[in-house]
Structure formats: C-alpha cells, structure tokens
Amino acid sequence: MLSYLHRSFIKKPNAKICRLFNGSPKVSVGQRVLPHEIVGINYRRLGFRIFHLDQILSAPPDAAGTFLQKPIGSNVCKNEILAQRSSFWGLKKVVFRSPIDGVIKMMNEENGELVMEYPLQLITVPSGVEGKVVEVLPDRGVMIESSALIVKARLGLGLRREGILKVMQNREIPLTSPEINEDFAGKIVLAASSVGREALYKLITVKAKGLITGGIDWKVFNEIKSARGGIEDVGLTVLVLGGFGNLPIPQEHFSFLEKFDGRLVIASGIWKKLILPNPQKLELDNPLGRELLGSVSFPVVEPLKGFRVRLLSFGRFGVYGTIAESLGKVKVLESQIESLTIPVKLENGEMLDVPFENLEIID
C-alpha cells in the first residue's frame, strides 16, 4: 500500500536563478558574480505634481507661462525660484519656489497648469547569489547558475518575490499584528507558528514581500486568494508549509530555515516553492541531517519501518512520528470504516495504528 510523500527540500546544485530588473544589464554571459555585485540597473518613474501657476501668480492662464524663470525640460532643485511676477511697477513681487526636486515637464497655456515630474529613481539590482551568468535577457534580466535548495510548500499564492528572510521565533503562539512593524517592509517573513487574518493584512499594509508559515485557516487563505487562484496578486507572496489549520513549522525544518535569516531568498506562490540560494555544502548535501529516500519521483511511496511521517487524520493533522513496523493490518477505525493500517510511534511516545492513506512520508 502507498502513502503520500513530501520532499521537504529539493537539491539543485545547478539551479538557474533569474534576476529581473527590466532595464540595462551590467554583466555579460560567462561572468562570475558575487551576491553584492550589481547585475542590472533600471530607472523608476516616481510620478508628477501639478501646480496652478495662474492662481499662484494671480495671472491669466494663457500668460502664466511667461513668468517661468527656467525653460521646459530643466532640472530644478527644491526651493529654487521657478516663476516670478512683478506688479505695481516692481513694488509688489510674487515668487513661486519649487517645492520638490524635479524636472519642468510642461506648461499648459489653456488652464495655466504647470506639470513637474519627480526625478527618476535609479534602481540597482544586486546578484543576490554567487554563481555564473549563463544568459542575458535583453531589457529584462539575467540568468545566473548557482546552487540552491528548494523548499516545497503545500499551499501558495502570489507572484515570485525576493527579499531578505526575517525569522520570527515563537512556534507556540500565532504571529499577531502588534509584532509587525515597518521593519518588515521588503522582507520575506518566516513565522514558525500559524498566522491569523489581522497579522496577514498588517503584513500587506507594511509592504512585506512574503510570508512563510506553518498553517493558515481556509477562510483567511480564501479571502486573499483571488477568483483566479494564486495567479492574481495581493502584493504579498504566501507559502504555507503545513496545510490548513493552526500548524507550526516542524522544529527540524524551522531549525534549518533559521540559518537563512538575513539572507536573500526567493518565494513563488504560483509554484509553491521557496528558493534558498547558495546553501553551505553540508546544507545542500543533507539539509535535515538524516538519510533521505533518494530519487523517488512519484508523489506516493510504500512506507517502511523507520520512515518519518506526518499524520493527516482529523484531530491529529500535522502530528509527527515514525513508522514502527513495515507490515500493515486490517482494522476497523473509530468511524467504522475498515482500512489497512500501519503502526506509528508519535513524538510523545504514543503508538497509533494509522491508515496508509492518512500518512505523509517526510523526506
């Protein structure tokens, strides 16, 4: 008989990590890069401001442009004189100083509006990983070959996002909104416990980039999931490692992920995976410090004595244990359903006969 199989970590010694910047690349194919090296740049437009110059200068709309002290297209600094009008034979002077750093974009002579654009912001994209550039995607990004570990999540939503991993320690109590502040902006938050509705919305508000959690309630997940599944985006990528419900991340997984605190990670909700670039050699070879199953490619496997398992039954969902015997036996469950079961020794020492279908082998 078969049970579910979950591969906690997938080793990718030659992972291709895409760094997108939608601008000009600063590296070439074959070049080796370090995490801090800039691989591409881009300029981001920050928007416009409109000033009613005719009203400010008390001038007719079609004449307001004649009082500009700088030509259209000029760069101006904050407090620099933009326009000036003298009246009463030079006795009264109205001066308009620029409230922002920016560029004079246009002067509308029909309504007297002056349009100023904020200066373009330079965005530099670091490599984030150590590796070799294998492809340059014109005007889009670069592909870097590097080693990586991939953590498979059970649930996910949101776009692919990258950020610095911020680890929240408490496994016992769900992450609450008062714990979340502006420091979380741009971070991918690893919450050892489950996460409630308020905390999730607070993370979106403070502009955190991602959340990795053990469990989440169906209702909360469904609220932030759009009608088109995980394809549409709420501005936060969510990865759930355990399933629906109040489930902390298992200690052994958490202890491993903790090592990546402060390092760049990439989370993809659509693909339900967390990419951990550049693990140490030992981390890559044997992340959980125990013997793994090898190259099984099916989502199911025959359970054997000694396999580490997670229970999927109601009331025990997410409980961990070890298979005590390889041979199964037919048993009538409490629900009166007859099923082939296998004995499992739980972490608290309790022995339990569990149907094969209600087990997930953790590799």
Partner 1 sequence: MPARTLVISFGNAFDKAFLVEETDNGFRIIKTLELLSCGSRDAAVFFFKKLFSSQFEQTLNSSLSENQGSASVNEQVLIINDEEAALSAALKNLSASGEVLLLSIGAKKSLLGIGSFGRVELRSEVLGLGQGITKLLAARESLFIGRWMKESARFLDTENYLANKSIYPGVLPVDPLSLEMEQGAATEIVRFLKERFWPVSRSIPKRIILSGAVFAKSPKVYQSLMIFLNGFEPLGFCHILLDQKNALSAFGELLLSFDKRNFQIEDNLTSLGDLISLTHRKKISEELGELTLDLGLAQKQKIILKSRDLINIPFDNEQSGSLGMTLKKGVSFDGPISEINLYGGLLGLVVDARGRPLPCPQMDSESRVMVKKWHQDLGG
Binding site for partner 1 (CB under 8 A): 1-4, 154-155, 217-219, 221-222, 243-245, 298-300, 312-315, 317, 327-328, 330, 333-340, 354-358, 360
Residue 1 CB, nearest approach to partner 1 (Å): 7
Query: C-alpha distances in angstroms, 271 versus 160, 275, 299?
Result: 8, 11, 16
Residue 279 CA to residue 103 CA, distance in Å, equals: 45
The residue (of 2 and 38) whose beta carbon lies closer to partner 1 is 2
Residue 211 CA to residue 318 CA, distance in Å, equals: 19
Residue 360 CB, nearest approach to partner 1 (Å): 7
Inter-residue contact 170 to 190 (CB < 8 Å): no
The residue (of 282 and 327) whose beta carbon lies closer to partner 1 is 327
The residue (of 91 and 327) whose beta carbon lies closer to partner 1 is 327
The residue (of 315 and 349) whose beta carbon lies closer to partner 1 is 315
The residue (of 80 and 338) whose beta carbon lies closer to partner 1 is 338
Residue 313 CB, nearest approach to partner 1 (Å): 5
Residue 334 CB, nearest approach to partner 1 (Å): 4
Residue 15 CB, nearest approach to partner 1 (Å): 23
What is the SS3 assignment for 184? helix
Query: C-alpha distances in angstroms, 71 versus 48, 64, 103, 107?
Result: 17, 13, 10, 10
Which token pair is 350? Answer: 């309790």
Q: CB 129: neighbour CB atoms within 10 A?
A: 24
312 Cβ contact partners less than 8 Å away, ≥ 6 residues apart: 4, 357, 358, 359, 360
